[in-house]
Amino acid sequence: MELAAEETITSAEAKTTRTVTGSVALLDGLIAEGTEIVFGYPGGAIMPIYDAIYDYKEKLTHILVRHEQGATHAAQGFARTSGKVGVVFATSGPGATNLVTGLADAQIDSTPLVCITGQVFSHLLGTDAFQETDVINITTPVTKWNYQVTDAREIPGVLAKAFHIAKTGRPGPVLIDITKDAQLQKFDFAGYVPCNHIRSYRPKPNVRKEYIEQAAELINAAKKPFVLFGQGVLLGSAEQEFKAFIEKTGIPAAWTILGAGAIATDHPLNMGMLGMHGNYGPNVQTNSCDVLIAIGMRFDDRVTGRLDKYAKQAKVIHLDIDPAEIDKNVKADVPVWGDCKETLPMLTALCAEKQHPEWQAEFKALAKIEQEELIDKELFPGTGELTMGEVIQHLNELTNGEAIIVSDVGQHQMVACRYGKFNHTRSNVTSGGLGTMGFGLPAAIGAKFGAPDRTVVAIIGDGGFQMTIQELGTIMQSGVNVKIIILNNQFLGMVRQWQQLFNDKRYSFVDITSPDFVKVAEAYSIPGKKVTEREAIKSSLQEMLQHDGSFLLEVMVSKENNVFPMVPQGCSVSEIRLK
């Protein structure tokens, strides 16, 4: 009979025990899991763990954030660029509740986190003690799994389960709430045993070969096949398998906002971004293809527009590791359950080697229309007010598509994702499903720790920047090298765009006043510069990139420049507007 992870301790290990506190057992477990960095903020209920980590300074790097939400976003950025599990510490009460936004963001974007929260003494649970909240019930809807520990002996096994659940299958955030007495309690610790199996938890569904065969049959017969790929390709580390599949079949492919970077931006079969502000061709052709192959994406509303008018002419093949996503929004003719790193090679082997020159030419014709009517004007305006697009274009030229771009949420996010060049996987870090303003700055901090040898550039709007501006203190104290570009249009731009287009320019509370961002940065010992003239953009970007350390560049862009194309809410993807 197969044993649960916490039961699989060998007799030799069982004899080698030492008496430790729950806090020490936790830290030993984190190190055993390969954790090198923790983002957190101390407090009374988690003080025993912080006392213990004082002796682990050479083994664990702790980054002191300025707000617990910043810790979760930093851990997300770290996880997204490193491919590892992000780890967060927070205290009870407001410390724990401040994690909720980041947990929700990580849950919907499938980011693996393990969050450790302190809790009041177990005998005080349920008494409304100082800084007590029911963090388990509060976080249940926004975590993949959570658990409250009241006995230190549970800590090794629970932590092992947490890491296993967070990083396997469809990844996600896990929270462990540990009472203060459990952190202080001593017990005989027999050593940490990683978890590789939990009864009733099946992270990978069994692959059914008959569905692979049916999918291959549809693909081989297709005249106008089209691939939609999402973050599942990156999470499955299946970039090479995906590239082999589209190159053998010759199928044009387009990406969701979190799928960017799975293949290089300039790959000949990369047709661009899907969705509300995606590229013209991929949206229009979704309603023209005869076979639609979705890989590691979930058909969210920003991609599909009106579901009753979405790809009704096409046979749909859906590859996903999470069975709950199959048929949730779009009915699949062929469901292919499983890890795409496993299913894609099986599918590729059965697919005929093909090219689809006429079908690809249709995409190119639509791309040319978009280029001439929209993109050239956005990226190379020449005269008039500064555009967000031309800033991204200059950044592309100077970084040659080698940088990690971390974007906040809003118009600048759509521009950064649409026009950014991504030559490598895990280069686009943004808040996709939850759309969290304030994500960008702390996520960029974490992204740099996750990929220390790469240039990390944060693209942030003037509104979102002020939501987590305090994390400049984290940059100052940690010395992390993050390049920050604020695209300042003096508005909450995306909301203003909607109010302009759909509410007769009734600009209701979107005109935002901001401080002198350069002076604020300088107060945190971060040099900065403000750009108002087109001629200064490129040289200022170059100065930012060449500076040894963090740098803030504020660019004053057009106040009422809109992001197009756009699929208006309630419309079909084929009703996408270029202006």
Whether residue 235 sits in one domain with residue 266: yes
Q: Is 373 exposed, middle or buried (0-12, 13-18, 19+ CB in 10 A)?
A: middle
Of the listed 68, 325, 378, 390, which one is catalytic? 68
CATH number for 419: 3.40.50.970
Cβ–Cβ < 8 Å for 297, 229: yes
Closest CA to 567 of 309, 390, 363, 375: 309
Closest CA to 44 of 91, 88, 89: 91
Is 565 inside a domain boundary?
no
> How far is 480 from 476, CA to CA, in rounded Å?
8
CA distances from 165 to 29, 105, 142, 194 (A): 15, 17, 14, 12
Of the listed 144, 161, 167, 180, which one is catalytic? 180
CA distances from 315 to 49, 210, 215, 294, 323 (A): 54, 17, 10, 11, 19
Is 203 inside a domain boundary?
no
Whether residue 213 sits in one domain with residue 185: no
Whether residue 401 sits in one domain with residue 298: no
Structurally, the chain folds into a number of domains equal to 3
Cβ–Cβ < 8 Å for 159, 30: yes
> How far is 468 from 441, CA to CA, in rounded Å?
7
CA distances from 72 to 86, 96, 143 (A): 8, 11, 12
Whether residue 49 sits in one domain with residue 135: yes
Closest CA to 172 of 231, 254, 95: 231
Of the listed 130, 223, 312, 519, which one is catalytic? 130
Closest CA to 495 of 483, 508, 504, 485: 508
Query: Which one-letter DSSP state was computed for residue 579?
Result: -
Q: Are strands 225-229 and 291-295 parallel, antiparallel or unpaired?
A: parallel
Whether residue 27 sits in one domain with residue 117: yes
Whether residue 166 sits in one domain with residue 240: no
Whether residue 544 sits in one domain with residue 437: yes
Active site residue 183: no
Whether residue 178 sits in one domain with residue 236: no
Is 370 inside a domain boundary?
no
3-state DSSP call for residue 444? helix
**Long-range own/partner contacts, residues 164-168 (CB < 8 A, 24 or more apart):** 164/5, 164/194, 164/195, 164/196, 164/198, 165/198, 165/201, 166/85, 166/112, 166/113, 166/114, 167/85, 167/112, 168/203, 168/204
Whether residue 116 sits in one domain with residue 231: no
Q: Are strands 528-531 and 551-556 parallel, antiparallel or unpaired?
A: parallel
Query: Which one-letter DSSP state was computed for residue 512?
Result: -
Quote the strand ranges of 381-488, DSSP E: 404-407, 428-429, 456-461, 483-488
Rounded to 5 degrees, φ, ψ at 336 are -115, 95
Is 194 inside a domain boundary?
no
pLDDT given for residue 459 in this prediction = 98
Residue 405: partners with Cβ closer than 8 Å, 6 or more residues away: 395, 416, 420, 422, 427, 428, 429, 457, 459
Whether residue 548 sits in one domain with residue 445: yes
Whether residue 315 sits in one domain with residue 175: no
Is 409 inside a domain boundary?
yes
Residue 548: partners with Cβ closer than 8 Å, 6 or more residues away: 481
Is 226 inside a domain boundary?
yes
Of the listed 36, 47, 121, 131, which one is catalytic? 131
Q: Are strands 18-21 and 186-189 parallel, antiparallel or unpaired?
A: antiparallel
> How far is 40 from 28, CA to CA, in rounded Å?
17
pLDDT along the chain (579 residues), means of 10: 39 70 98 98 98 96 98 98 98 98 98 98 97 98 98 98 98 98 97 94 94 98 98 98 98 98 96 96 97 97 95 97 96 97 98 97 97 96 95 97 97 97 97 97 98 98 98 98 98 93 94 97 98 97 98 96 92 93
Q: What is the torsional sign of CA 7, 10, 14, 17?
A: negative
- H/E stretch holding 531: strand 528-531
* pTM of structure: 0.95
Q: How many CB atoms within 10 Å of residue 515?
A: 10
Helices H, strands E: what count in the chain?
A: 25, 20
Among 362, 395, 427, give the residue marking a domain's end.
Answer: 362
Of the listed 271, 414, 437, 494, which one is catalytic? 494
Query: Which one-letter DSSP state was computed for residue 7?
Result: G
> How far is 552 from 527, CA to CA, in rounded Å?
6
Is 374 inside a domain boundary?
no
Active site residue 437: no
Is 368 inside a domain boundary?
no
> How far is 473 from 554, CA to CA, in rounded Å?
18
CATH number for 295: 3.40.50.1220
Active site residue 180: yes
CA distances from 499 to 335, 437, 503 (A): 40, 18, 5
Which structural domain range is residue 540 located in?
386-560
Whether residue 128 sits in one domain with residue 12: yes
> How far is 163 from 444, CA to CA, in rounded Å?
23
Active site residue 131: yes
Active site residue 554: no
